[in-house]
Amino acid sequence: KVLIDVPYSDLAEELAQSQTKIQVLQDTLQQVLDRREEERQSRQLLELYLEALKNEDSILSKVAESETVPRKEMDEVDTCASPAGTSAKTALNDQILAALKEKPAPELCLDSEDLELVLKEDTEALALALRWDKHKAEALQQACDQELSKRLQQVQTLHSLRSTSKVKKTLP
């Protein structure tokens, strides 16, 4: 970095080289620094991606563990009407509904498939199932949409970095 910051005329004089050679040297050094920074950023993004995968795997394993509980008991409870006397028909399971009700930012706790289910759900049915007003249910669906978009963008960025990395490896 110091060699890049020094004016090329001073460096050329100090090394007894032509200014052209020093400019080429400084350009090459800058390219190396740029490549190292790109690699560092790629590693960070990959580490974030791997961490997200681990978190998703741990969440999925917790869900799988909770699903190993005998479903008969849960089915009996599920068939009962809600205390208000109406039962909301949704495609969302009880675990998703519980996460939506209890978590301060449920869109961060759900996996991508569950986010898609929340988005596909009718807003009024979702509001009824959660016992919320329609505006709060709409806001939840918007937050889920934003989180899903963010995750998709991260995956696309990772794919882009991979393809860029492959291209750089094939260059002479």
Structural element, H or E, at residue 80:
none
- Between the CA of residue 18 and those of 30, 156, 161, what are the distances in Å? 18, 45, 37
Q: Of the ranges 11-20, 62-71, 79-88, 159-168, which one carries the lowest mean pLDDT score?
A: 79-88
pLDDT one-digit tens code per residue, 117-157: 889 999 998 899 888 899 988 999 999 999 889 888 888 88
- φ, ψ for residue 7 (rounded to 5)? -55, 135
pLDDT one-digit tens code per residue, 64-89: 776 665 444 444 444 333 444 334 56
pTM of the model: 0.46
DSSP secondary structure string, 58-94? HHHHHHHHHHTS-HHHHHHHHTSPPTTS-----SS-H
